Structure 1
Amino acid sequence: MKQLFVIVTITLFAVSCKSSKKNNDAVFEKNSENILSNESVKTKSTAENQRAVQEIAAAHYGLFNDFNTLKINANVDYTGQEGSYSPSADIQIEKNKRILIAVKALGIPLAKVYLTPERATYYEVLGGTYYDGDYQFIKDFLGTEVTYENVENLLLGKAFYDLNTNDYIKTRNNELELKLNQFLMRLVMGGKNQIASTEVTQDKSADKLVIQYPSYQSSENIYLPKEINIHAMQKNDVQIKIDYRRVSVNPSLDFRYKIPNNSKPIKI
């Protein structure tokens, strides 16, 4: 089975889409300043568990005010087997409709990712390759559904899978778990019920993926991550750090996207 890391990388920045080895989760050290007690909570019934999760969901989603568009200028630090890179990324989001991510180094375009609910596409300039299709390739990799909404949630700091419509179990005061086929997703919540980290593990695999949100910011009344750290622990360790430097709320955006001529399709 191919890796969750590939999916995260493609949907975010396509910086290391050349990697195609098996990989699935990552573990993250918990920030003690943002995380509640780890004292176990034993739910006495399904109904009690549902009420506990609903309370967390209400507090979590209550953090996020509405918006129409976002423009985020970010710095990215990528470290993997092939080396270390520090590009910048311009992230444009039209809520529930489309995401455009342009990756650059010293002002030179490296790659673009364009996502809508129906379409997932990207190209990289130096490699001259592209992918243009739907989200089925992600489902084929993972054996579970991944959608545009999941990717948007990851960038916004929201729970990857909806807390109100999935069967989460509250295992500790600050932890929720969700079983998805062969995957176990564990959410560690912070003091305001923000996501402190998301840890994904796969049955019978030592590989791990962790997405951590060490800090958040309030920009123009919009609650967003300040930093996102992705750590894929596998045979070839991969780390991605994304720092949101500047955020503009409800600006006019330009979603022009065209795959360069002579680019070659890649099979993921």
Structure 2
Amino acid sequence: MNKRSLIILTLFMVFAFGCKSAKTISNGEANYKLSTKQLIKENTKQNPNFNTLQSRLKITLIQNGKTQAHTVNFRAKKDEFLWINATFSVIRALVTPERVSFYNKLDNTYFDGDYKYLSNLLGTELDFQKVQNLLLGEAIFNLKNGDYKTSVNEGSYVLQPKNQRELFEIFFLLDPTHFKVKSQQISQPKEFRHLQIDYVSHQEVEKQILPENIKVIAVEANEEIILNLELKNVSLNEDLRFPFKIPSGFKEIKL
């Protein structure tokens, strides 16, 4: 696995989540009559609200015709810590608003840095909140702070900036029944880059609608990475610890 694949895999292992006592959301009655302002308001009402969570997360990575599957423990303290631990602590990661850090005992390497590499990778400035939103099923950009137009296509609301940015294009697809994000897409045509996050299904937990199955497609030139995330066995709002220490003697990954 190359450095880019490892960073992407670790990132999504860290930021994906699920919830306790969940039931899959089925399609209800669609409402296609909302204005852009009303649509954004309804979407904002669905923002997740929790203090901590813990879950088992299955990640399936498909790259160059090869498939890898991993199941990890995931813990989070909303807006503060995101932590993963693979079996036997082979891979452990801790993400905070300031840093992205992880180590890999399979090759005795570690990474400890800021969000610069991830920002360069996607062609837009990233921070903890943006990436957290992306994996929690929220729009990567605050919809209330932008000027968007709305259309309906194949059963979904489509939100896009009235004036697309020069270097990349953004699209958000929202479900007309519960107004959660169904897909968000960022494209950089000149760089032949495309990132697409599809929320294949949602689940309802304690009156909150949250992602259940997520499909991530990252394309750069002729290279494509697909991640399928399955979220299960989650407990909510428990007292959790987030231990992390890079072992001595490990080699730093330079990006």
TM-score higher than 0.5: yes
- In structure 2, the residue matched to 1:18 is none
Identity of aligned residues (%): 26
Once residues 247 and 36 of structure 1 are traced to their aligned partners in structure 2, the CA distance between those partners, rounded to angstroms, is 29
Instruction: Answer yes or no: is 1:80 the counterpart of 2:67.
Output: no
Counterparts of residues 1-268 of structure 1 (less than 5 Å): 8-13=8-13, 52-81=35-64, 83-102=66-85, 104=86, 107-172=87-152, 174-178=157-161, 179-191=164-176, 192-234=178-220, 235-268=222-255
Once residues 58 and 186 of structure 1 are traced to their aligned partners in structure 2, the CA distance between those partners, rounded to angstroms, is 18
Once residues 9 and 166 of structure 2 are traced to their aligned partners in structure 1, the CA distance between those partners, rounded to angstroms, is 22
Unaligned runs of 5+ in 2: 15-26
Letter in 2 for 1:109: S
CA contact under 8 A between 1:144 and 1:180: conserved in structure 2?
no
Letter in 2 for 1:79: I
Change (3 A) 1:36 1:240: farther
- Considering only aligned residues, what root-mean-square deviation do their CA atoms show, in Å? 2.9
Change (3 A) 1:74 1:226: same
Unaligned runs of 5+ in 1: 15-32, 42-50
Tell me whether 56-65 or 248-257 shows the greater mean CA deviation. 56-65
Once residues 220 and 152 of structure 1 are traced to their aligned partners in structure 2, the CA distance between those partners, rounded to angstroms, is 20
Relative to the length of structure 1, the TM-score reads 0.76
Once residues 149 and 35 of structure 1 are traced to their aligned partners in structure 2, the CA distance between those partners, rounded to angstroms, is 31
Q: Compute the displacement of 1:80 (Å).
A: 0.9
Once residues 36 and 132 of structure 1 are traced to their aligned partners in structure 2, the CA distance between those partners, rounded to angstroms, is 45
Change (3 A) 1:246 1:154: farther
Secondary structure of 1:237 counterpart: strand
CA contact under 8 A between 1:53 and 1:163: conserved in structure 2?
no
CA contact under 8 A between 1:35 and 1:196: conserved in structure 2?
no
CA contact under 8 A between 2:94 and 2:102: conserved in structure 1?
yes
Change (3 A) 1:248 1:177: same
| CA deviation vs aligned residue, 1:188-234 (integer Å, no higher than 9, x gap) | 11122111111221032444221100111112333210111112234
Once residues 160 and 52 of structure 1 are traced to their aligned partners in structure 2, the CA distance between those partners, rounded to angstroms, is 21
Query: How many residues are matched?
Result: 234
Relative to the length of structure 2, the TM-score reads 0.80
